[in-house]
Amino acid sequence: MKLPKIVGHRGAATHAPENTLAGLRQAAAFGAAWVEFDVMLSRDGVPLLHHDKSLARTTGDPRLVTETNFADLKTLDAGAWFDPRFAGERIPTFAEAIAVLAELGLGANVEIKPAPERESETAEAVVAELRKSWPATLPPPLLSSFEDSCIEVALTRAPELPRGHLYEAIPANWQDSVARLDCRSVHGREYLLDQEIVAQIRNAGYRVVTYTVNDPARAVLLDSWGVDTIITDDIPAITAALAKADAV
Ligand code: G3P
Ligand code: MG
């Protein structure tokens, strides 16, 4: 599995509204090879890009994504909160995002982000959409989740696609789930990583992915520990820092 050193978080979240098509375009414009984004289901089962359970922060609507039908979600403005320049930006469906990735030649780490009780259904919908529309021109997507049950569905339904296990702090028994679910990468929150755990994971033959690194000095340090991939909101800042340190 070839992963890039830098992956744009939720698109290019410092510079464009997160989890939108504008964000994917911004990441590509910055020269990113890959983006990460979150996929969850509308009430009526449409997979779409959104991070929070609630729509409040990104659209001003107080409802939950999982309680809102797709037709209603599509009327909401998901760009104006970030900057008036992005007014009119919509919450994209996963299918729309894949079409833009294909157009831009952008690879993706697809994070399966289920509402409680919808873990399997969300993972099933993600795999079904990938089967239908993931372009052969792009590298296979890396599927990741905090939820073992989501990764399990990915393993069963699309064993050929690489899987990553997300953690906040990486637990001492990380290898139990990672081996059982045949993951290729272990993803940990950047300020909870240390050099020892990075070495331990890499020595066991897995890739280390970390999120969300927006501090250039921290990115250079993590890279020096052997972290394979850095997920960042700020693609230009981290690209420049690693280039200066001769790391990319
Ligand atoms: O996939 C890395 C990162 O996105 C996980 O955390 O909360 O930003 O989705 P979160
Ligand atoms: Mg995410």
Q: Kindly give the pairing relationship between strand 6-9 and strand 229-232.
A: parallel
Tens of pLDDT, residue by residue over 52-86, are 999 999 999 999 999 999 999 999 999 999 999 99
pLDDT in tens, 144-192: 999 999 999 999 999 999 999 999 999 999 999 999 999 999 999 999 9
pLDDT score recorded for residue 58: 98
How far is the centre of ligand 2, averaged over its atoms, from the C-alpha of 37 (Å)?
5
Distance CA(102)–CA(33), nearest Å, equals 12
For residue 81, is it within any domain?
Answer: no
Is the residue at 180 inside a domain?
yes
Specify if 77 maps to a domain. no
Percentage of residues of the chain with pLDDT beyond 90: 98
The CATH code of the domain that includes 105 is 3.20.20.190
**Ligand 1 contact, 111 CB (< 6 A):** yes
Q: Is the CB of residue 119 below 6 angstroms from any atom belonging to ligand 1?
A: no
Examine residue 26 and state whether it is found in any structural domain, yes or no: yes
Task: Identify whether 110 is part of a domain.
Answer: yes
Peptide bond into 122 cis (omega under 30): no
> How far is the centre of ligand 2, averaged over its atoms, from the C-alpha of 39 (Å)?
8
Percent of the chain's residues with pLDDT above 70 = 99
The verdict on the CB of residue 37 being under 6 Å from ligand 1 is no
Say which ligand is closest to the CA of 37. 2
Q: Quick check: is 242 in a domain?
A: yes
Answer yes or no: is 157 within a domain: yes
Catalytic site includes residue 51: yes
In a domain, 59, yes or no: no
Name the closest-CA residue to atom 3, ligand 1. Answer: 211
Q: Which residues contact 118 (CB under 8 A, 6 or more apart)?
A: 41, 66
- For the CA of 38, the closest atom of ligand 1 is 9
Up-side HSE of residue 175: CA atoms within 13 Å toward CB? 9
Q: Say which ligand is closest to the CA of 53.
A: 1
Q: How far apart are alpha carbons 10 and 202 in whole angstroms? A: 25
Average pLDDT for the chain: 98
User: In the prediction, which pLDDT does 1 show?
Assistant: 79
Residue 97 is predicted with a pLDDT of 99
Task: List the residue whose alpha carbon is closest to atom 7 of ligand 1.
Answer: 51
User: Is the beta carbon of 147 within 6 A of some atom in ligand 1?
Assistant: no
Q: Please count the structural domains in the chain.
A: 1
Query: CA-based angle 92:14:119, to the nearest 5?
Result: 45
pLDDT in tens, 187-223: 999 999 999 999 999 999 999 999 999 999 999 999 9
Query: What are the pLDDT digits (tens) for 111-121?
Result: 999 999 999 99
Band (pLDDT 50/70/90 cuts) for residue 246 is: confident
Q: How far is the CA of 209 from the centre of ligand 2 (A)?
A: 12
Q: How many angstroms separate the alpha carbon of residue 49 from the centre of ligand 2?
A: 10
165 annotated active-site: no
Domain that residue 211 falls in: 6-41+94-247
